[in-house]
A and B are shown apart, each in its own frame.
Chain A
Amino acid sequence: MIEFRGAAVRTDDDDARVLLHPLTLTLRERRVSVIGANGSGKSTLLRLINGLLVPSEGAVAVFGEDTRTAGRAVRRAVGFVFTDPLSQLVMPTGREDVELSLRARRLPATERRARADGVLRRFGLEHLADRSIYDLSGGERQILALAVVLAVEPRILVADEPTTLLDLRNDARIRSLIAGLDQQVVFTTHNLDFALESDRTLVVDDGRVVFDGVPADAVARYRDLASAVRDGRR
């Protein structure tokens, strides 16, 4: 369960620009999507969930733990997948990157290696385990990025546009993979079909959540916003 309690984010430079206006809501649904225009504040909202950002005012809590005062516990509970997997993968090969994730668990080396192999098998990546991450296709990299985050079994997965850089086939692979996860998943996307697969959708516009509800209605609202821009009404 994720709670936003009047959480707002501002830059702390002179103009104190608001990136996210005060937001109060609770996310309990298994699949929550966040849609909105480029630069609307979607990523800022997502970053608050695992403590990558702490709110300038208000608070964000995950399973009751405040991201400001219990950052470590929150990060253990919330895995974060970036848009570009190359931003996420920091080791030369997939096996090593999965092992890097497992280091946080302080496991003995042999157990860590065995678990890493298990994770790679689970995601169908065992044949790519020792290949350089630069030799993988975009889809393989994104699946690997998911695998390294899920290796430590977080209770919540947060994914920032996980399919944006992918072709149609890999887009479908990632969506089906995410659909099969036991974890609560919160994701941003520009793919409205993907958003429609969720249980609840937030529409973010200019740093505000302007709609919160059923995905079909949210998508309609988002289309209205886009039409307003096209027609010069906004």
Chain B
Amino acid sequence: MFEVRDLSVQVGTKTILKNINFNIEKGVPAVLFGPNGSGKSTLLKAIMGFEGYSVLSGDIIFKGKRINDMHTEERVKMGLGIMYQHPPQIRGVKLSQIAGFLSGDRERVAALSAKLSLENHLDRDINLGFSGGEMKRSELFQILLQDPDLVLLDEPESGVDLENISIMGAALNEFLKRPGKSALMITHTGYILDYVGSQNGCVMIEGSLWCVGNPKEMFESIRKFGYDKCKECSYVQGRDHKAH
């Protein structure tokens, strides 16, 4: 469903991602670990086609089509979606406006906003004065309305209390169980792994993918030994892979 081949990405004058290769299948969400500044968010932004993230070489292939040169909104129309870690505040733009654009079904908008306790946020400027948990719920709300086939999740659980993680995790899990759906998710805390089943994990360090394996096992290993241990893994950039 989604493939990245030999992808190198530059931000400004700096090459951040170097020769990245991976693929994601339908129904098999992938988990991306890595220390701060390793390039994980850059990878998601490059996949979305955001300005300033220049692909130096390689291909991004979605549903069999090379999407390198497509505008963000065209990628979105093909079925890509992203849940932001730190979404911007936009004064004067209401959450309900975006919800209305994403789904013409008013009843669905009302039901989903109620489910995510966002009824009172619909008429508010998007993300303005939202708490961390509210922002994440709003992101999830929009993504579920958008209904992409591949959703990119940038630390969906960061800054969220346990109760909210449970609400969000359950909703995400339900979404990803539907046929044809998949995800690429970044996590630091690993909490989301309790809700979203995945057998497909990898670690990014200094702009390269180092290690591939079962996400839960990898997360335990990272917790015990840190990311340095990942570098000892035999899998680097397309070689045979093995978890710690």
Do A and B belong to a common assembly?
no
